[in-house]
Amino acid sequence: MLKYFFSILAFLLFISAIYAQTADTRLRVIYSEEYLTETAQNNPNELKYLNWYLDNSYSIVEIGAEKCASMPFLRSFDPATKSIGENVENLDVENLNILLYSFERQYNKQTCYRIGDTGYAIIFESYKKLAENFNIYQDEN
């Protein structure tokens, strides 16, 4: 009886852990519901990373039009057609989905793109820095 109780308790804890990590709705633009559900069940840490990545893989800074002039333009990305679109003229920072933009990320250094002629730039952290920052985030949460 006690063994049965602990089995049920373990199962309930397992199920609650799976559903505790839910996918940010912005991920659904790129990933299927099936993939996100499977990832939540089989690799919840990957889903945690993807959710974290949406808001922590870049920064937007005002650096002035003169400094931006030498940077490439940030361009849009259409996930349905997998095609690169037009130059981005401005960003809605409150509703930003970084997965809808085309950019390159380097292993060991940041990459920068200008946002139209706004004087703002978006800076993408390196893969190495992303890993370091995510590890810090995990240690704190």
pLDDT digit string, tens, across residues 20-78 = 479 999 999 999 999 999 999 999 999 999 999 999 999 999 999 999 999 999 999 99
What's the whole-model pTM score?
A: 0.79
Closest listed residue to residue 107, CA positions, set 134, 125, 132: 125
Give pLDDT, residue 3: 54
In the predicted model, what is the mean pLDDT of the chain?
A: 88
Most confident of 10-14, 66-70, 91-95: 66-70
19: pLDDT strictly greater than 70:
no
Interatomic CA distance for residues 4 and 26, integer angstroms = 40
